[in-house]
Amino acid sequence: MKEEFIIISKTAIQKRIEELEKQMQEHIQSAQKTGDYDFQFEDKLEELKEILSQSTPLIPEIEKAYKHCLSNEEFKDYISNLKLDI
């Protein structure tokens, strides 16, 4: 099976991790009163952290690919004008 890749926002994942950490702290405080602890936050946090740990920054990969296709001057112009709406 051929590997498929997607582009995701590192900032969005980091923001979601922060939100989950905050929710988890609130849940822990509530669980201390009720004795009902749910591990769902820990599982989601671990998944998101694992995704980030396996991620590769996009711009350096694009630079590597275009470096082989363009002259030095063309490459510098291309990178300086590169804008990604992700």
pLDDT digits (tens, 9 = 90+) for 16-27: 999 999 998 988
Would the CA dihedral through 19, 50, 85, 79 be positive or negative?
Answer: positive
User: Which pLDDT does position 67 carry in this prediction?
Assistant: 74
Q: Which residues contact 23 (CB under 8 A, 6 or more apart)?
A: 41
Q: How far is 56 from 49, CA to CA, in rounded Å?
A: 13
Q: What is the pLDDT of residue 15?
A: 96
Question: Is the pLDDT reported for residue 2 higher than 70?
Answer: yes
Q: Give the pLDDT mean for 2-6.
A: 80
- Pure H helices in 1-86: 10-34, 40-53, 58-67, 72-81
pLDDT at 68: 73
Question: How much is the pLDDT for 40?
Answer: 83
pLDDT confidence of residue 50: 92
Q: Are 45 and 54 in contact (CB under 8 A)?
A: no
